[in-house]
Structure 1
């Protein structure tokens, strides 16, 4: 039979009654109060083996009381409950040393399970840490799906566990990763993000691990990779499903041995980086297709975290809309309000672009619509499918290639945020284009290097040097 004394503090008599009956029936001794002063007196007297407390009480906030409790009795587990179900509530509970956090309304069976686990664990301190005040909310939403994310993040903040974030495009996977970094033990270190889908596959290894001078054509100086830039901080690997197999093998070595070598280097480099990965793809399907290493998947998937699409948490839309309107107002755009009927329409919309689509809509409303109050009619017109435009004439092959390269380079530069890519970009890009171009010319001429040189408009000796430098396989020699 379970045993122990549980101290309950909540100004809601109904909750005190429910907890008293449920916990007493199991075998616990329960003492309940409606105020923080009585709870503090019990703690000072050495009473109780566990505390369950609401955050907001008539005489004192539990977040102000918690540091004193943990200082006096560091091994006393405290479970915090709150109807203020935000990300920062969960974070503050963790920062101030709470054993766990439960949003109201809570699941009674879950609470009983947490109580049993807390009392069964060896007594150990849960030290408080982290910033006292937070000026802005990194994550927004009070839905059950977001509450679960907040609780998981709060438990992960002071660990270095590798996290895999799953979710559709636009759900806010990078925001979750940034929150995990900004409020975690590595917050003083750098947060470095790299999007695998935005970087040419041939360059990913050099971007991740850096390269030495002379490692390839155009490598005129040593360049630091993202691992080196993220040292003592967090490296966020976005769209990990787009990572080529060669880079996957090198990443697996880092996760297994804690070291890597630069491209063209021979000396192993020890690394101290927390890895957070994210994907909008089904990695299991990629594994079955031979496109993703199963051993790497298990190394990355230590803690899986799913970010739900907006259609699964449409009750968060009002909070998100007001949050985005407040953001754009700070940026200098006019203050806006929105009709309840307009919010209802937004909650019925499926949001294929998820939170990113909602944010773009709010910015568009603030910038383009003069009225102070956004009506249902405006939202209806914005969310309706736009009329089909006449199909443009197909561009020429040169225009298609040029446009594709331009879009790819734009994505590549955006992946660095406000920073610039490492030096030697021109030669890396040229090398990336040269390799498939020469390979295609050789394939078209059935490996005849004389004809391939004529087709490309280069000297035959130059072509031979390129084939050797770029390690291009020639199917059949022709000269």
Structure 2
């Protein structure tokens, strides 16, 4: 039987039948073309005591909205008779009091930004945790309304890729910042793409018409950082033959991206703090105060709180920079994004004149088993190497494993190896402590012992096989295993990424 939400409805009866709740419960309008998703949301919201109305088309939803129904709307992007993003501004005009929560399987930064710009209260990526939907609706009912629509536009060609939950959290945070001038501190390991995040904040933000000026503070001699940032007067120091503008002046009206902020010397930190507090600076060797209108975005891969304890970073500057913290996840925390990222980098290699390649399923699986100490930058470099060095159109697991083994850092001296081995227990203990802490007051799910062993065993065997070019006899000797035992483990762990020959 076709549900009411999928049949043309005559006003004022719109959508599925209303389930009245006692005590005048809030009414939630849910519009999604997927009946299963409507049902799941309906049941969850009903258990929470809400009145729920379900719709399968934009037209049916709009009819209900125009009658004044609903306290919150949950709206899918792709609908059979329209795009949910396209009606956000209309909804805001007709019902400015109605918060709209956008849900979508188009899990990109562009979707999150467009939803926020056009007045959505919040954005959730599919598949979502139903508890998140309930929580967002609760916040919407408390706060009412949503962000003001009409922010700067942005296309879909964005530098950030990934549909993992870790990237979705980053997209949502970034989308809320696009219409602001708040100072942002981006943290993350080297190679995760911190500059891409800063560039996206600028390109999609209110200062997109101004310049984006990146500065790598680790690459500038420490005695020249102040001159580089603030400029200098003629004769300020040896070699200053004329007045020079600094990066703040170059970034006027736009965004100044201070990368590797943890490498900034203390004297320069003091001057930067003054700029952030007062909005003005003086050139090196000068007395004239220069007003500045610049948004500052900073980034670091260092632990600034530890630097503060060690006296290497000003605590007051940290709080000025850390108005909005953004953390870029390492690649090992978003392994589900690897296939999309790898395909993107292979396509970019074609644009640069390299032959077109693609990865088979085994190659993708091998990539997902790697720990990626160099993060996304390491993956990009690997894809370019594969495109340049191998003649076959389809790249397999053996090729990927060989290149990963070749690119691994060389094994050091015996003393270095012993020191690293001694520190392995502490590293594992720290990692597991973070894992336990991530579950709050609860405990990790059952089976942790086997999962930890599998996490260690698979990469250890794979590295040994890679180092011996797939020679199982030599790998077994290195690992201290019987060759038959190793062969069984290779099959059990499905380690197909190397040519596992026997001799």
* C-alpha distance in 2 between matches for 1:389 and 1:30: 61
Q: Which runs of 5+ in 2 are unaligned?
A: 1-22, 413-503
2:276 paired with 1:255: yes
Alpha-carbon deviations, 1:312-361, whole Å to 9, x = none?
Answer: 11111000001111112122221111111011001101111111011011
TM-fit CA distance, 1:108 = 2.3
* Residue 275 (structure 1) aligned to one of 290, 296, 309: 296
Q: Which runs of 5+ in 1 are unaligned?
A: 392-479
2:203 paired with 1:185: no
Quickly say closer, same or farther: Cα 1:158–1:117, change in 2 above 3 A: same
Quickly say closer, same or farther: Cα 1:373–1:2, change in 2 above 3 A: farther
TM-fit CA distance, 1:129 = 2.9
For 1:165, what is the secondary structure of its paired residue? strand
Q: Which residue of 2 aligns with 1:456?
A: none
Alignment check: 8 A CA contact 1:142 1:316 kept:
yes
Which range moves more in the overlay, 218-227 or 92-101?
92-101
TM-fit CA distance, 1:377 = 1.4
2:109 paired with 1:87: yes
TM-fit CA distance, 1:86 = 1.6
For 1:384, what is the secondary structure of its paired residue? helix
* C-alpha distance in 1 between matches for 2:117 and 2:58: 19
Matches within 5 A, 1:324-343: 324-343=345-364
Alpha-carbon deviations, 1:170-227, whole Å to 9, x = none?
Answer: 1100001101111111111111111110000000000011111111111111111111
Quickly say closer, same or farther: Cα 1:347–1:251, change in 2 above 3 A: same
Q: Which residue of 2 aligns with 1:26?
A: 48
* C-alpha distance in 1 between matches for 2:270 and 2:215: 17
Alignment check: 8 A CA contact 2:103 2:126 kept:
yes
Q: Which residue of 1 aligns with 2:160?
A: 139
2:231 paired with 1:215: no
Matches within 5 A, 1:157-306: 157-306=178-327
Question: What TM-score comes out, normalization by structure 2 length?
Answer: 0.74
Quickly say closer, same or farther: Cα 1:390–1:68, change in 2 above 3 A: closer
* C-alpha distance in 1 between matches for 2:265 and 2:204: 32
Quickly say closer, same or farther: Cα 1:294–1:388, change in 2 above 3 A: closer
Alpha-carbon deviations, 1:72-126, whole Å to 9, x = none?
Answer: 3334211000122122221221222211100112222222222122222254662
Q: Which residue of 1 aligns with 2:83?
A: 61
Q: Which residue of 2 aligns with 1:114?
A: 136
RMSD: 2.0
Alignment check: 8 A CA contact 1:2 1:28 kept:
no
Which range moves more in the overlay, 154-163 or 55-64?
55-64
For 2:334, what is the secondary structure of its paired residue? helix
Quickly say closer, same or farther: Cα 1:37–1:265, change in 2 above 3 A: same
* C-alpha distance in 1 between matches for 2:407 and 2:243: 50
Alpha-carbon deviations, 1:131-186, whole Å to 9, x = none?
Answer: 3643x232011111111000100111111111111111111000011011111111
Alignment check: 8 A CA contact 2:274 2:280 kept:
yes
Quickly say closer, same or farther: Cα 1:185–1:75, change in 2 above 3 A: farther
* C-alpha distance in 1 between matches for 2:29 and 2:297: 38
* C-alpha distance in 1 between matches for 2:358 and 2:83: 32
Question: What TM-score comes out, normalization by structure 1 length?
Answer: 0.78
* C-alpha distance in 2 between matches for 1:264 and 1:290: 27
* C-alpha distance in 1 between matches for 2:30 and 2:225: 54
* C-alpha distance in 2 between matches for 1:390 and 1:34: 60
Q: Which residue of 1 aligns with 2:458?
A: none
